[in-house]
Structure 1
């Protein structure tokens, strides 16, 4: 079962048909623009309120693309699941932890990111199609080997 609410899952479906999932398309569909910029040391991503209930997401341009994708998906998770808890600016450090969110909210955002970037159905299709190596799966889904290993239940 996905941690992504059904209404958003339906909205994201056009961007989740095949790997790698178009995380920027999903974010735009939800009303969140994502920008890759230089962020302060130790900050991997942030969401900033720009006007009323309008937000923008920023990911650290100096981090590897797989990390930027996961961070964008994690921040999109906060936007979808925890929008009422977001203040003017919400920052996540390199461990994707924030002073403004509980450990449970951070865990929810991480699950959301994993479900978005590595949908279980697409991972299963890839494995059934013969892609069984963690490195190959990570490349196919454009995620880190660590993230794919966790998704497959190989790493905790």
Structure 2
């Protein structure tokens, strides 16, 4: 299927919701595999977290650093999945597109935002917040941020950014 993955952003987000474990964390490896994209660990070395490559048969593979935390690996898979689906023109045969931790191009920013949406679908996050007895107006404490990060298997920073992007009340103090 990876040769002709044609999804809208909304389709990918909806599909990611179907791959949740216990209603929260998304199994991004199964999601990628369902789209015909294989995921491998690779010893990149310092500074590179993930890459995406298309082989001569048009099959897409995602490579993630074997040195990164599970949360970072999950984010890298979702990020590279965004490239594979929405930045096909950048995924060339026999050329690996590396993502360093410091890349801030528009394409990388877009892939980061989509990775957050894949890992923390709005519907699932809103349900989790409601189950905690909170709403959008409530201040989200450090404790709740940690619970969200744990439930969705993301870093606290990813949880904070996603909450802020959804207009939750997250104070601007150092949580990460």
**TM-score, structure 2 length as denominator?**
0.76
The Cα of 1:13 is off from its aligned counterpart by 4.0
- Counting matched residue pairs gives 148
**Residues 135 and 13 of structure 1: CA distance in aligned 2, closer, same or farther (over 3 Å):** closer
1:5-154 equivalences in 2 (<5 Å): 5-16=9-20, 18-87=23-92, 88-95=95-102, 97=103, 103-130=105-132, 133-153=144-164, 154=170
Unaligned 5+ runs, structure 1? none
The Cα of 1:141 is off from its aligned counterpart by 0.3
DSSP-derived class of the 1:51 partner? coil
**Residues 148 and 7 of structure 1: CA distance in aligned 2, closer, same or farther (over 3 Å):** closer
Distance 2:17 2:69 in 1: 26
Distance 1:119 1:48 in 2: 26
Cα RMSD of the aligned pairs, angstroms, is 2.1
The Cα of 1:16 is off from its aligned counterpart by 3.7
Runs of 4+ in 1 over 6 A off after TM superposition: none
The Cα of 1:37 is off from its aligned counterpart by 2.3
